[in-house]
Amino acid sequence: MARLLLVSNRLPVTVKVEHGEVHVTRSAGGLATGMKGPHERSGGLWLGYPGDVSRLPPEQRAALEARLEDLRYVPLHLSPGEVSRFYEGFSNGVLWPLFHYLLDQVPIGERDWESYRRVNERFADLVAAHHREGDLIWVHDYQLMLVPGLLRKKIPNARIGFFLHIPFPSAEVFRILPWRTQLLEGLLGADLLGFHTLSYLRHFASSLLHVLGIEANVDRVFTEGREVRLGAFPMGIDAAALSTLAGSPEVDAEAQTFRQPGQRILLGIDRLDYTKGIPRRLLAVERLLEREPSLRGKVRLVQVTVPSRTNVEAYQGFRSRVDELVGRINGAYATVHSVPIHSMYRSFNERQLAALYRAADVMLVTPLRDGMNLVAKEFVASRTDDDGVLVLSEFAGAASELADALLVNPYDIGGVAATLKRALTMPQGERRQRMQNLRQRVLENDVHGWAQSFLSTLEEQSEASSGRSLGATTPAALESLTSDLRKAPRLTLLLDYDGTLVRFARAPDDAAPDPDLRHLLTALARRPGTRVHVVSGRTRDVLERWLGDLPIALAAEHGFWTRDASAREWRPRTDIPSDWNAKFLPLLRQFVARTPGTLLEEKSASLTFHYRMADPEFGVLQAKELRLHLGDLLKNTPVEILPGEKIVEIRPMGAGSSALVTSLLEGASSGTRLVALGDDLLDEEMFAALPPPHIAMHVGPRPSRAPYRLSGPMAARTFLQAIAED
């Protein structure tokens, strides 16, 4: 097993000083439990913030460092200012509420962002300092979203995974962030990006499309010459251990002490946080008591609220609001013998929680939004008696797995109240069947399986990516190739235009060549023994207007029309009927009419549907639908449909660039090297027609049959400039 470097905002430890001695206690539950096995088996390291130890004297600080080293924990110490701005300010003040759709809670501040960026850089530096060849790096959660990209720059061949433990919001919400581009680019530094649910994965893919213009291919994204894998990995709990604990005689006896004759227990266990929906849960219980007088004095909500972020003013105010609601409801419905809400603001140990889970008749897990919510799974794992009912928010990630829970909309207070009544009156047979189904799911998909699934996928993905990596993309390899090409007695360059020599423009007419490009093409054409062909999907008129005065050959409509450098006459590659497009031209015009931002480019030997200016998601959907319609319409006809970069092109078969390459190869004299540069699927046929020792170079991030790759148009120009300067 490869050594594992775990990276999280906090180390899984609690540091205490008692009687002058430093005590380091490992955390239990959640991520700490899932990572314990892989961390120990791999002999790896865990890097993170150990908490505020700034007040420790030197000897105690040294003792702490020694203890952490024994545990293979590597501390990153943060200043109080960094904790305030990076953690409380940006991570929990901006990202946390925004990713949970609580937009009124999001203050946007440049200083907090700068602190977030700097602390992420510190984490990346620390990981890089401890990294060894072959290590697996697993970065966790929203506090460290820039770290994968920073590490990729420092260690290009690093094997990096990232898992987001909170929801990824819809693209419309995510795009609110001024730093949306930086965060997405940071995440794309990973080889594998993991989310709790497929829904979160889709939101991420949608954000990539809307913000960066990058289209995900189901579960993969191609960027910067790399493939990034996307996956849904629902996190579990240590279900077997909790089930064993909950079934013990000690827990069973303690559970009995919580029960009172004639009373049913509703249970809520939450960290104090405005995302958990505690006030609305209290209001739902109040509504239940209003509607059902017969339940008064017979139903009790035990609400355990675990202290959290006690030094944050907003959380202090939130606790006061909860306390006021509890007081109001108890004042209205309490009797001499009972109160409807028993609220406790403190932590419970694992045994006490198991007893509460066992005692409850109904478990209420009703967050307004939650990445997964492990409390729901803990309740299920504890029910060794196959009894109890789980009422679960449909906005918790766990809802996608736990189909036998009673799902509710936490914003619908009346609906939650009605579901509570259903839970309290559910027949025992139905309760048992539902709980058995839930337990099977939770026990079979535990936290250990979650960790193993992610790590095995990361190893598989990083090995596959390594096998696909293109050595010629390195500066040294490109320099070696350039040197070889300079020595060739004759050189023929076939250069695609859009996306290869110039960046894509939203409107086709906005991509005219700049003076530097015109100068470069002229310099290449004047180099002894060098011929330059610009091979483009553009029309003859456009190429003539933009490049017709240069001493280069032009090939319009992907090589159907050609013009030599020394001539001004355009020649077609073959004859095609004038009505070749009559069968499907109306369909294309119909799609343009119903898709805002699209246009149809009508050329003599091709038709091109452009959707670069359309809404990103709608444009992609319309392009897919168009290809389906065309596929049915053009069956058994000599016409082909070609997807490109934000285009769909339709043309007669044999009208592409491969025929041009074949003719150039046939006419080439001995010693001639052909070099083809292109960026999209339409250029692949040009690459396929080039046998060794001729050179195919792909420009951009997409996968390609070309053995050489350049990152983008600027890199392509730099490569060509190196040839021209010979």
Catalytically active residues, by annotation: 496
- In three state form, how does the secondary structure of 451-520 look? HHHHHHHHHHHHHHHHHHCCHHHCHHHHHHHHHHHHHCCEEEEEECCECCCECCCCCHHHCCCCHHHHHH
Here the tokens at position 439 are 């337990």
In the numeric block, the tokens 């865990």 are attached to 46
How far is the C-alpha of 218 from the C-alpha of 230, rounded, in Å?
8
263: Cα separation from own chain's centroid: 46
Angstrom distance (rounded) from CA 49 to CA 47: 7
Phi/psi-derived region of residue 593, left when phi > 0, alpha when psi is between -120 and 50, beta in every other case: alpha
Reported as type and span, the H/E element at residue 250 is helix 249-258
Kind and range of the H or E run holding 363: strand 362-365
- Closest by CA to 565, choosing from 545, 543, 548, 540, is 548
Strands (E), 11-132: 13-18, 21-26, 45-49, 73-75
Pairwise CA distance, residues 254 & 397, whole Å: 31
Contacts of 234 (CB under 8 A, 6+ apart): 196, 197, 372, 397, 398, 400, 401, 445, 450
- CA 368 to each of CA 165, 199, 373: distance values in angstroms, whole numbers, following the listed order: 16, 16, 11
Smallest Cα–Cα separation from 527: which of 720, 279, 304? 720
Could you give the count of Cα atoms lying within 13 Å of 36 in the half-sphere of its Cβ? 14
Residue 200, both tokens? 């979160």
In degrees and rounded to multiples of 5, residue 624 shows phi and psi of -65, -45
Which residue type is seen at 32?
A
